[in-house]
């Protein structure tokens, strides 16, 4: 076992596990990451093993830097068993089809609001422009009051939780922003409980503030704050996927043509292929409950295990020509929940697959419709290569568009 490969992982987080596994012709690779013995696994079979709740637990698995930035302490991602299922049921209740349609409509309206501002500018850095739009949309949908002068500050805080968490020295600002965001969110929770804020029924702020655990107790205010941020933060992070949608529309014109002619089925396939092809989360951690043997390897108790999400989505044993952007592959996809794991694998209801996946898809669909049907724009010369040493990965230019305007009937995108 190597002494520690944290630096190598940070240099190439999306390909690290798959590369090492290929070098030893195995789906299992043992190393040290962040000074802790870690067993890395990749592939569909590994994903199925990883989401077996009898073998692996989440509590205490995430590296401390992620707990203090991206995830927060005490949130649903760190729970197991009945406590996890009970808390997750709260999130699933927020994800009804009607509520997700409402969020998509709020997002579309916020995009239209900012379109007037974009039209007067020579160039728009799309990633930066999307962040406040998504912040306003998810706060409005969640019942979170947000006055205009607060938008910039909350956007920066929510963005720092995922955009700066894995980069140094920005990581330390992310920690500070986590503290500030949790204090803000805890204040909202306490005001709901006092009756000073009356968020709408079925809104995230109301449901989380009034949620009771298995013992019938309200969550501690800061735990509820972590869970509220677990709605706000990942919704703002969908900006990454939306930028990759725009990137794919530009880089793969045949796929863009498919959107014009292929109907809803092709739209869904395009969205799935963006989520498979482009990097988002590199890996997720768990911890061994009790010793077991899998793939010819021993998994001792308390060993950290990391599942390679990006490598599993690019596993050539499942995905033909995985480095080719090919939405048609999803037109006949069998729905295997362990082969396609951009936001976790297995069941949304029982396992640790992200319930916000449906929100991600709905917002991507809204954004693609906005790009292809609502606005016209051009893509000036820029560096569109994807920086995979960055977490989260993005085009190096953050995707710049210009000459933005409302599309008129029959007009083509410039």
Tens digit of each residue's pLDDT (9 = 90 or more) over 75-133: 998 888 899 889 989 999 999 999 999 999 999 999 999 999 999 899 999 999 999 99
The gap between the terminal CA atoms of the chain, to the nearest Å, is 54
pLDDT band at 350 (very low <50, low <70, confident <90, very high): low
pLDDT band at 348 (very low <50, low <70, confident <90, very high): low
Look at the alpha carbons of 142, 144, 149, 153 in this order and tell me if their dihedral is positive or negative.
negative
Report the half-sphere exposure of 169 (CA within 13 A, side-chain side): 0
- Report the C-alpha gap between 383 and 202 in whole angstroms: 43
Q: Which of these CATH numbers, 3.50.50.60, 1.10.443.10, 3.30.300.20, 1.10.630.10, describes 6-406?
A: 1.10.630.10
Task: Kindly list the distances between the CA atom of residue 232 and the CA atoms of 151, 221, 227, 229, 323, in Å, as whole numbers in the listed order.
Answer: 13, 16, 9, 5, 32
- Report the C-alpha gap between 51 and 45 in whole angstroms: 10
Give the model's pLDDT for residue 36: 93
Residue 242, classed as helix, strand or coil, is helix
pTM, rounded to two decimals? 0.94
- The residues, any chain, with a CB within 8 Å of residue 237's CB and separated by 6 or more, are 162, 163, 392
């Amino acid at each position: 076992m190597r002494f520690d490969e944290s630096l190598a992982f940070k240099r190439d987080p999306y390909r690290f596990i798959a590369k090492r596994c290929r070098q030893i012709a195995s789906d299992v690779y043992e190393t040290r990451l962040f000074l802790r013995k870690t067993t890395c696994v990749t592939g569909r079979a590994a994903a199925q093993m990883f989401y077996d709740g009898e073998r692996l637990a989440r509590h205490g698995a995430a590296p401390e830097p992620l707990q203090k930035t991206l995830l927060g302490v005490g949130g649903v991602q760190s729970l197991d068993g009945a406590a996890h299922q009970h808390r997750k049921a709260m999130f699933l209740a927020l994800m009804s089809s009607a509520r997700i349609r409402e969020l998509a409509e709020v997002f579309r309206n916020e995009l239209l609001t900012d379109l007037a501002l974009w039209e007067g500018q020579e160039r728009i850095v799309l990633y930066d422009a999307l962040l406040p739009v998504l912040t306003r949309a998810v706060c409005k949908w969640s019942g979170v009051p947000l006055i205009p002068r607060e938008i910039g500050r909350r956007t920066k805080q929510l963005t720092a939780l995922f955009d700066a968490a894995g980069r140094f020295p920005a990581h330390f600002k992310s920690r500070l922003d986590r503290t500030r965001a949790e204090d803000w969110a805890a204040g909202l929770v306490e005001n709901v409980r006092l009756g000073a804020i009356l968020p709408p029924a079925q809104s995230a702020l109301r449901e989380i503030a009034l949620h009771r655990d298995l013992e019938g107790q309200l969550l501690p205010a800061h735990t509820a704050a972590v869970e509220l941020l677990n709605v706000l933060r990942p919704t703002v992070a969908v900006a990454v996927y939306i930028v990759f949608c725009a990137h794919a529309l530009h880089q793969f014109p045949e796929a863009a043509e498919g959107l014009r002619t292929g109907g809803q089925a092709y739209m869904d396939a395009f969205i799935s292929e963006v989520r498979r092809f482009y990097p988002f989360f590199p890996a997720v951690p768990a911890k061994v409950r009790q010793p077991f043997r899998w793939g010819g390897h021993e998994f001792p108790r308390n060993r950290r295990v990391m599942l390679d999400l990006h490598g599993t989505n690019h596993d050539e044993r499942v995905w033909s020509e995985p480095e080719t952007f090919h939405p048609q592959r999803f037109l006949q996809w069998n729905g295997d929940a362990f082969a396609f794991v951009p936001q976790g694998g297995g069941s949304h209801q029982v396992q640790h697959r992200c319930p916000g996946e449906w929100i991600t898809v709905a917002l991507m669909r809204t954004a693609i419709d906005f790009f292809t049907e609502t606005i016209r724009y051009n893509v000036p010369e820029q560096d569109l290569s994807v920086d995979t040493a960055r977490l989260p990965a993005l085009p190096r230019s953050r995707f710049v568009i210009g000459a933005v305007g409302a599309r008129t009937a029959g007009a083509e995108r410039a």
